[in-house]
Amino acid sequence: MISSIRLVNWRSHADTRLEFRKGTNLLVGMMGSGKSSVLEAISFALFGTFPALERRKLKLGNLIRLNESNAKIILGFSWESDTYTIERILERGKSSTSTGAKLFKNKAMIEDGTTAVTSYIEHLISMDYDLFTRAIYSEQNNIDYFLNLDPRRRKQEIDGLLGLDKFETARSNAVSVIGRIKSKRQAIEQHFDRTALDEMK
């Protein structure tokens, strides 16, 4: 369960601390007050990215509060009987923005580095960013995504979600392997006499 988040210079947030409780938590605020930014920060803390960043609608530099040089997200959560804290930082550089991450388990640091932290989280919660954005996290105006797809696309998406698309890939690969073996056999049949071929069989 996600227990708290602190946002320092993340988007419009100068220094925001939120505590979450068991059950449903609602964020209420005027348009532009920074609600979506909180959800994006949760995704970024866990996986180092979120949909608008993936779509390149936003760059890393846009995530740091205007006129500030760095940003920090501190996400606290519990998993089984342990408490974890993820710290992600963004640092505005001359030509690009760099990122860093640290993961603490029961206050002791256990991972350092963005990829190390992301992969630890993926293993811990048995979920990667892909599954997270398809099954857990829904962007504003995207909650009806599955409902608005035509049935064929919906089946494809659900197959992808459940990992069933692998079987379709295997099936079509098998068809092309069979085709290749058949044409090899034909080539052999053309170049060898029957008795030699019977021996080969």
Ligand X SMILES: Nc1ncnc2c1ncn2[C@@H]1O[C@H](COP(=O)(O)OP(=O)(O)O)[C@@H](O)[C@H]1O
> Considering only residues 36, 70, 138, 156, which one is a binding residue for Mg ion as defined by CB under 5 A?
36
Using the minimum distance from each CB to ligand X, give the nearer residue, 36 or 119: 36
Which tokens hold the place of 141?
């105006």
**Which does residue 8 touch among Mg ion, ligand X, none (CB within 5 to 8 A, set by kind)?**
none
* Interface characters, 62-81, with ligand X (x: CB under 6 A): x-xxx---------------
Radius of gyration of the chain (CA): 25
Does 31 help bind ligand X (rule: CB under 6 A)?
Answer: yes
CB 35 within 8 A of CB 11: no
Show the tokens assigned to 186. 């034909």
Instruction: Detail the DSSP E strand segments found in the chain.
Output: 2-10, 13-19, 70-79, 82-92, 97-105, 108-112
First to last CA, the chain: 62
Does residue 70 belong to the site contacting Mg ion (CB under 5 A)?
no
Q: How far is the CB of 147 from ligand X (least distance, A)?
A: 22
Return the range that interacts with ligand X (CB under 6 A); candidates 34-42, 101-109, 114-122, 148-156: 34-42
Site residues for Mg ion per CB under 5 A = 36, 140
